[in-house]
Chains A and B, each alone.
Chain A
Amino acid sequence: NAGVMQNPRHLVRRRGQEARLRCSPMKGHSHVYWYRQLPEEGLKFMVYLQKENIIDESGMPKERFSAEFPKEGPSILRIQQVVRGDSAAYFCASSRDRPVEAFFGQGTRLTVV
């Protein structure tokens, strides 16, 4: 049973471009969580999704960020018009049920140049 798969592992984008981060949860997991770790800072919750639904997006920046978890395929975290301050490690985690006994992916390290 493969773990949570995130890709790409490293992503470089120029300012103003779009970044798409993918997260494939573990088999049988229908809950996905995205977290961001800014350089020299702790992890922060961004969004919690179930299949086709956003359950809690209270940690998402109000603009440029969106997330989806379609019926088929991976969860996508999309950042439009990236800025230098978006440079961070983005982690996703998945779980089968609540409460969360979550399994984390290896993260995507986004660098905006």
Chain B
Amino acid sequence: KNEVEQSPQNLTAQEGEFITINCSYSVGISALHWLQQHPGGGIVSLFMLSSGKKKHGRLIATINIQEKHSSLHITASHPRDSAVYICAVPLNYGGSQGNLIFGKGTKLSVKP
């Protein structure tokens, strides 16, 4: 049964700073998800990745399968990036892909 740890829990940055959020999990996985939850509560799926690195705009997600670790980076952060960032992995390797276990989230606040 997988467990997910995210760090930091809270992060305050100045506009323009480079942000890193970390996620570690305990059991081998087929894919890891990064999600963004805005203050209004809606959830957006940012990335699903199973190896290497993915980039979308100013967001970069990396995963190291051997280390069971993933990072989400935000370059040139902006106040509109302020949100809770959540990583999620399948509960069991090879199990139902929708049965995800979620990290507690990292609350990011970017100050102008």
Residues on A lying within 8 angstroms of B by beta carbon are 31, 33, 35, 42-45, 48, 55-56, 58-59, 89, 91, 93, 95, 98-107, 109
Residues on B lying within 8 angstroms of A by beta carbon are 30-31, 33, 35, 41-45, 48, 50, 86, 88, 91, 95-105
Decide if B97 touches A106 in the complex (CB within 8 Å): no
Bound form: Cα–Cα A98–B95 in Å:
11
Decide if B86 touches A31 in the complex (CB within 8 Å): no
Bound form: Cα–Cα A107–B105 in Å:
17
Decide if B45 touches A99 in the complex (CB within 8 Å): no
From A58, A93, A98, A99, residue with most partner B Cβ within 10 Å? A99
Decide if B99 touches A44 in the complex (CB within 8 Å): no
Interface of B is mostly: loop
Decide if B100 touches A107 in the complex (CB within 8 Å): no
Decide if B98 touches A107 in the complex (CB within 8 Å): no
Which are the 9 A-B pairs with shortest beta-carbon distances?
Answer: A48-B98, A56-B96, A33-B98, A104-B43, A43-B102, A106-B42, A99-B97, A100-B97, A42-B102
CB of B58, distance to nearest CB on chain A (Å): 21
Q: What are 28 residue pairs bridging A and B, where the CB atoms are less than 8 Å apart in the complex?
A: A42-B86, A43-B43, A43-B86, A43-B102, A45-B98, A45-B100, A48-B98, A56-B95, A56-B96, A58-B96, A58-B99, A93-B43, A95-B98, A98-B97, A99-B31, A99-B48, A99-B50, A99-B97, A100-B31, A100-B33, A100-B48, A100-B100, A102-B98, A103-B45, A104-B42, A104-B43, A106-B41, A107-B41
